[in-house]
Amino acid sequence: MRTPVPHRVATTLITLVAPLVILGVAALVAVSWSDQLPDPVAVHWGTDGPDGFGSLASAIVPMLVVGALLAIGSWALAFLAGHASSTRRIAAGSSLGMSALLAVILLGSLDAQRGLTDATQAPGITTTLLVAIVAGLALGALAAVVTPGDGDQPATQPIAADAPRLTLGSTERAAWRRSAFSRTTLVVGIAAVLVVLVLTVVTRVWPLGLLALALAVLLLTMVAFDVSVDERGLVARSLLGWPTLSVPLDEVVEAGVATVHPVKDFGGWGYRLGRGGRTGIVLRGGDALEVRRTGDRVAVITVDDAATGAALLNTLADRARARR
């Protein structure tokens, strides 16, 4: 029996309605300015100011279409496969964040052209880009924060009898530890930060430096994780302490070992959403600790010696359930 996806109303409001309202209002405001804007308006900027021009509609429509498609896609993902709060948060954050970014770029670039008769006189959009990135990040983070969490969902069934176990005396306590590190993420991440830094200096579009900083922080949150299995359940904590993925013992349905192909299963490396709504900490290909948890959620962590971690998690979960 499939558990229904929780918090569908909140998901729809945050991930679909709010972004569409932002995009719609931005489009209406832009249309209301049509008398004050030059025709054509500047719609594209190079390093030396505006270099692409078009009708007001050609500025509004692509923004609306891209924003709406992103919102609808994110909403569909969260509505249909958002069993885990991480899925819903990532969808809500991308959807609302992108709509804010697009709306600010549209309104900022047009606002600077109000009162002009010739769009070639339009000023640069560096400040607009900066404001748009900050607004996008802020609203994205806000959307992720206000998205409701999963709440406690204790399991009612015992762990499957054929799941791997570890022999543990009745008075024994055990803890399993492993550090997982991603060479791919480190190499690709450093390359990306360097490319953006070089671009920033070459183009002198300084807000890009902000993007380099954001990428560097993102890299630090995704490159290394400490994984532990003990009485607290499974906890995978990033180098920076965030993000953290944890599965308490009473929410473990079954732990095992799975083989992960980063690109095929998760579309890349890092803390990711995978096929079938799986939440993954993907640091390399190969063996991974896979935990099926209550509420039709699945957590995957690529870590060495996953078999021992899975066996201990099942064993400790058995014990926790016997204590209840």
Using CB under 8 A, list all residues that contact another protein. Answer: 168-169, 171-179, 226, 228, 230-232, 308, 312
Distance CA 14, CA 162 (A): 41
Nearest Cα neighbor of 234 from 277, 278, 291, 195 is 291
Q: Which is nearer to another protein, 122 or 312 (CB)?
A: 312
Given its phi and psi angles, is residue 221 left (phi above 0), alpha (psi -120 to 50 degrees) or beta?
Answer: alpha
Cβ-Cβ contacts under 8 Å for 143 (sequence gap 6 or more): 14, 15, 18, 89, 92, 93, 95, 96, 97
List residues bridging with 230 in a β-sheet: 233
Q: Which is nearer to another protein, 150 or 305 (CB)?
A: 305
How many C-beta atoms lie closer than 10 Å to residue 303's C-beta?
Answer: 23
Q: Which is nearer to another protein, 157 or 170 (CB)?
A: 170
Q: Which is nearer to another protein, 117 or 171 (CB)?
A: 171
Q: Which is nearer to another protein, 69 or 240 (CB)?
A: 240
In single-letter form, the type of residue at position 75 comes to W
Provide the minimum distance between the beta carbon of 323 and another protein in the complex, in angstroms, as a whole number: 14
Q: In what order do the strands lie in the sheet with 224-230?
A: 224-230, 233-238, 244-247
Distance CA 223, CA 200 (A): 24
Q: Which is nearer to another protein, 173 or 324 (CB)?
A: 173
